[in-house]
Amino acid sequence: MRYLGIDYGTKRVGLALSDESGVMAFPHSVLENNANLLKSILSIIEEEEVKVVVIGHSIDKDGKENVIHEEVKELITELTLETGLPVHLEPEQYSTQEAITIQGRNKQTDASAAAIILNSFLTKSKHE
């Protein structure tokens, strides 16, 4: 079963995909956060036969949802209505910083952050 990981940002949105067995995540792409975002994500979901979506849960250091999470909730609603797929939240604190530490900042940083978020979810799911 293939999973899609999303690192949502106000300017760019990083995407990652799991392997077909849903064991490991890999950076996929970075999309501009514009009017075509939902359509682009839906296209990838269809092309890659995604069955589960995992979105970074945007919370601050005190565990409270931050301002951007309102936009994330809108995306969750749209994806759920359009696809009927399960959408899970996974804490994303410091995922971008971790990606930068591993590879440096580049045009795939947000996709790498999405892979970190998705790998975290997949690891937890294995142990449940």
pLDDT for the residue numbered 60:
75
Helix or strand (DSSP H, E) at 38? helix 37-47
Residue 128 clears pLDDT 70, i.e. is over it? no
Q: Where does 48-126 have alpha helices with state H? A: 69-83, 95-103, 109-126
Backbone angles phi, psi at 35, to 5 degrees: -65, -20
Structural domains in the chain, sorted by start: 2-126 (3.30.420.140)
Residue 75 C-alpha from the chain's centroid: 11
Q: What mean pLDDT value characterizes the chain?
A: 91
Considering the chain, what percentage of its residues have pLDDT values greater than 70? Answer: 98
In this predicted model, what pLDDT tens digit does every residue of 32-57 receive, in sequence order? Answer: 999 999 999 999 999 999 999 999 98
Q: Does the predicted model carry a pTM greater than 0.75?
A: yes
Closest CA to 6 of 88, 61, 124, 83: 88
